[in-house]
Amino acid sequence: MVEMFQTNGAVIFWLALTSAITFVGTLMLIPVLVARIPSDYFSHKKRHKAPWPNQHPVVRGILIIGKNLLGYIFIVAGIIMLMLPGQGILTIVVGMTLLDFPGKYRLERWVASRRPVLRSINWVRRRAKRDPLVIDK
């Protein structure tokens, strides 16, 4: 084990640094993102409009591909962080929120409707002076 650390010291250093940066970044970014969610976002059975609807189709395609690529990068980094110190599961969740896949809105809505999750989300929103999330069942 010691030999592995000696031979791969630079790689382990960069992975640990990335893990620390991701941890601090998510601690700062998640409250901002939670506060920006419209309060009625989950009150509908179906998702709102497609992202970037006013953009040229080529620009919109590039943005969607970039967002999905970033999501995959976060998922891979999160899987790596499961074996290293860091926020692996949280990073995987952030990556999944960036991806576009069938049933994503229903999954997000289901997770957000769980009592502990909704209570935590609304606590963050209350501190940001935002209205609580409304989730119709």
Question: What pLDDT does residue 51 have?
Answer: 67
Q: Is residue 64 part of a domain?
A: yes
End-to-end CA distance of the chain: give it in Å, rounded: 52
Distance CA 45, CA 34 (A): 20
Q: Is residue 135 part of a domain?
A: no
Q: Is residue 137 part of a domain?
A: no
Residue 38 has phi, psi (to 5 degrees) of -60, 145
DSSP single-letter state for residue 53: T
Residue entry with tokens 């926020």 = 87
- Residue type at 81 in one-letter notation: M
Q: Is residue 48 part of a domain?
A: yes
Q: Is residue 92 part of a domain?
A: yes
- Its domain, for residue 102, covers 2-127
- Residue type at 13 in one-letter notation: F
pLDDT in tens, 103-132: 888 888 888 888 888 888 899 899 999 999
Q: Is residue 56 part of a domain?
A: yes
- Residue type at 19 in one-letter notation: S
CB 5 within 8 Å of CB 12: yes
- Residue type at 90 in one-letter notation: L
Domain count, the chain: 1
Q: Is residue 74 part of a domain?
A: yes
Q: To the nearest whole percent, how much of the chain has pLDDT over 70?
A: 89
Give the torsion sign (CA, 136, 133, 45, 95).
Answer: negative
pLDDT in tens, 54-80: 888 899 889 999 999 998 988 888 787
The first and second tokens of residue 31, run together, are 């409250």
Does the pTM exceed 0.75? no
Question: What pLDDT does residue 113 have?
Answer: 86
Distance CA 78, CA 95 (A): 8
Q: Is residue 28 part of a domain?
A: yes
